[in-house]
Amino acid sequence: MAQVEYPDLVIVGAGLFGLTVAQQAVEHLGVRVQIIDVRDHIGGNAYSYMDEETGAEVHKYGAHLFHTSNKRVWDYVNRFTSFTNYVHRVYATHDGVVYPLPINLGTINQFFGAHYTPAEAKALIAEQAGELAGTDPANLNDKGISLIGRPLYEAFIKNYTGKQWQTDPSELPAGIINRLPVRFNYDNRYFRDTWEGLPTDGYTKWMERMIDDSRISVSLSTDFFDASQPYNKEALKAAGVPVVYTGPIDRYFDYRLGDLKWRTVDFKEVRYDEGDHFGCPVMNYSDADVPYTRAIEFKNFNPERADSQNPNKTVVWEEYSRFAERGDEPYYPVNTAADKELYAQYEQLAASEANTVFGGRLGTYKYYDMHNVIDTALTAYENQVAPLLRK
C-alpha cells in the first residue's frame, strides 16, 4: 500500500453524530477530517431521496421527524436548514375504524361511543385498570392495563407491541413502557416539544451543507475493518490518528464478548394509482391480523410540495419489525438486563481505547432521536474530541 498522508481526525460513520463532530472540528480547530462510511450515502438512518414517479421525499430507513426542546440543538441545526411548519400526527386502524393517537379524549370518546368530560374519562380509565390499578407489575401486559385500563390497552397497545417485539407482551419487561401517554383533552399532536418540523429541502441537503468544507473529505462504500483500504482500524491505530467511531461497539471489538441484541425493521413498498391513499403520513395497525406495525405515506410529510408531486401516484412503505441478526440494519437496542450488562463490559473495553471516541446509537448502544444525537455529538466534541486534537 502506498504511503498515506493521514488527516488530523478520521470519523467512522456519516450519520448525524459523525457529521456534527466533523463540522465542529473544522470550524473550531481548522483540522482536516476524513469521514468514511460503509454505506453509499451520507446521513446515516436520516438519509432521504426523491422518488421520481411520485415526487415524494422517501426516508430510506423509516419516518424521521425532527423535534426538540433543546435550544442549543435548535440553533445549531438552523445554521444548515430551515424547517417547514409540519406537525406530526398519527392515526391507528383498529377493527376497521381509524382513531387518533396518542390516546386522547377524542380517541376515548370515539372508542366508547361516548361524550366523556376529562374528569369522567379519567375515572373510567382508573376503573378499567381493575385490580391492577396502582400496582407496579413486572410484565408489559399488566403494566399497560394498570396505566390505561384493559379495553384501550388491548385495542391499541397489546397487539401492536407484540408485533414490534415479536414476543407476547406478558413475556416482555414492564420497563419498555414506563409510561403510556393519555391526554384528557383533544390534543393529538404526537410530540410535545418546543420546536418541530421537517427540513425545507430535505434531510440529505441539510446534511450536505453541514460538511460543505474543503477540509472535510468523505469516502463512501468504505469499510473501517477492511485492511485493503487506508483508513482501516489497524492502520489508523498504528499511525496514532484520532478516531470517532459510530459503528456497532461489539463489532469494533470483533464480538469478543458476544453480540448485543437489536431489533430491525423491513419495509415493503406499495404504490397506488391515486394522489393520496391514507390522508396522513403514518397509519398504525393495532390488530394482530395485520402483520406490519404501520404504513408510511411519504407525500403527506410535505403538503407544501404539492405542486411538484404527482397528483395521480403515491408510494407507501409497510413496516415489519423483527429481531436483527448480523448483517441486518440495527435500529432499536433490545436492552434486556443481559444486554445492558454486556454493553457495560464493552464500555470498559472502549475506555481503554485512548485515541478513539465512541458515539451515536450504535457506538453507545442507545436509542436516540435525532436531536439527542446532535446534542451528544456537540458534547462529545467539546469534552472528548477537541482535547484529543489539541494534544
Catalytic residue among 37, 51, 250, 319: 319
Catalytic residue among 263, 297, 346, 365: 263
Does 294 qualify as catalytic in the annotation? yes
Strands (E) in 257-386, as ranges, are 262-272, 282-285, 294-297, 314-323, 332-333, 356-358
**What is residue 193's three-state secondary structure?**
coil
Q: What is the DSSP string of 65-126?
A: -EEE--HHHHHHHTTT--B------EEEEETTEEEEES-BHHHHHHHHT----HHHHHHHHH
- CB of 21 closer than 8 Å to CB of 254: no
Catalytic residue among 76, 183, 231, 361: 183
Residues 6+ apart with CB under 8 A from 360: 13, 15, 16, 17, 18, 44, 246, 368, 373, 376, 377
Does 369 qualify as catalytic in the annotation? yes
Does 251 qualify as catalytic in the annotation? no
Catalytic residue among 86, 203, 294, 297: 294
Q: Cell numbers for 29, please give them.
A: 480547530
Does 319 qualify as catalytic in the annotation? yes
Catalytic residue among 79, 266, 367, 382: 367
Catalytic residue among 179, 289, 307, 341: 179
Cα–Cα dist 211/20, whole Å: 8
Peptide bond into 169 cis (omega under 30): no
- CB of 218 closer than 8 Å to CB of 14: yes
Does 153 qualify as catalytic in the annotation? no
Q: Which residues are catalytic?
A: 179, 183, 263, 294, 319, 367, 369
